Amino acid sequence: MSQDAEIICEVRGAAGIVLLNRPKALNALSLGMVRELARALDAWENDPVVTRVVVTSASEKAFSAGGDIKALHDLGRAGQYDEMLSFWREEYILNARIKAYSKPYISLIDGIVMGGGVGISLHGSHRIAGDRYLFAMPEVGIGFFPDVGATFALPRLPGAGGIYLALTGDRVGAPDALALGLATHAVPSAQMAELADALTGRGALDDILAGFTHDPGPQKLAGERATIAECFGGASLATILQRLKAAAEGGSAFAGKLLQTLATKSPTSIAIAFEQMRRGAGLDFAEAMRTEFRIVSRIARGHDFYEGVRAVVIDKDHAPRWEPATMEALDPAAISAYFAPLGADELVLEA
């Protein structure tokens, strides 16, 4: 395969190696990349030579910073909704494929991992965090929602940590990721290349990883865990906001900052994300992905996604005009409508 391809998939020793090779775009996922990874996984699953899949990045800055949001925005603006949704349809099918994959699937994450990058790493068996690891699902800031399987994964994180990440879009490094279960191992950045090479051998996976793992250091959120659990464990969005306000008034600078952060996000997106987390705790992975496709099918024809991408990515004025503009103006029935079945357009996953 050409070295200038966006993604390079090849067998090296015992491993199927995937190189995300779009560094100038921080490895933002294109439809071509989704399709090539899906093709490789199909080829490797029944190949006796391949005992594991290892996903790496050609960028020192990012594993993958998400999907190609600008391209999707442009398709929607042009009214090409079918083409726009075909990306998410195939991406979500790939996320489910990774979740169910029968061989170890190891992501070496040493940089930013957001959005679509989370979808091709978090659901695999092993997530190795380097020193530069930085996880976020910041979609509520662009009028979108935490997708790519976040509906399943985030509600299952301890101490309401996933709900906190979904609603605030906060970033966490390797120590917190390890504590939350977003990462399974931490390895020094300086040893990542050596680890990638070792993984092509036929030694036992756990033994190889044990030889590289280290303590990544103190957690940024260690002192805020109780506040996160108490506030984001609320049974409704209104309760979460009330608890954050009470914590801020009680002297928590952390809670006060979170209230300011939430005030800048799309109210519709925050409400969708909360409802996702509430429902997602009781869904299996396939139903979580079907739920996400229902949501994205409505968002594609809405307002806030286009306004958010305009404000953050295109004009970069960071002054989005959300509709509605406040949480108080939200219509609960309008939020529920995002989750309604799609009939003939439902996402179909392999059995």
Q: Which residues pair with 16 in a beta bridge?
A: 11, 53
Kind of pairing between the strands at 7-12 and 15-20: antiparallel
Is residue 32 among the annotated active site residues? no
Phi then psi dihedrals of residue 63, to 5 deg = -75, -60
Per the CB < 8 A criterion, the answer to whether 167 and 270 are in contact is yes
Please give the distance of CA 92 from its chain centroid, rounded to a whole number: 12
SS3 of 323, please? Answer: coil
Is residue 67 among the annotated active site residues? yes
Write down the catalytic residue from 91, 139, 275, 292.
Answer: 139
Write down the catalytic residue from 76, 116, 119, 124.
Answer: 116
> HEC profile for 214-226?
CCCCCCCCHHHHH
Residues 344, 89, 277: CA angle, nearest 5 degrees: 95
Write down the catalytic residue from 67, 111, 143, 162.
Answer: 67
Is residue 173 among the annotated active site residues? no
Burial class (CB in 10 A: 0-12, 13-18, 19+), 287: middle
Torsion of CA 112, 118, 120, 124, to 10 degrees: 110
Is residue 6 among the annotated active site residues? no
Q: Which residues pair with 128 in a beta bridge?
A: 108, 185
**Close Cβ partners of 332 (under 8 Å, ≥ 6 residues apart):** none
Write down the catalytic residue from 68, 131, 147, 170.
Answer: 147
**Close Cβ partners of 206 (under 8 Å, ≥ 6 residues apart):** none
Q: How far apart are CA 77 and CA 73, in angstroms?
A: 6
Per the CB < 8 A criterion, the answer to whether 95 and 123 are in contact is yes
Q: Which positions are catalytic? A: 67, 116, 139, 147
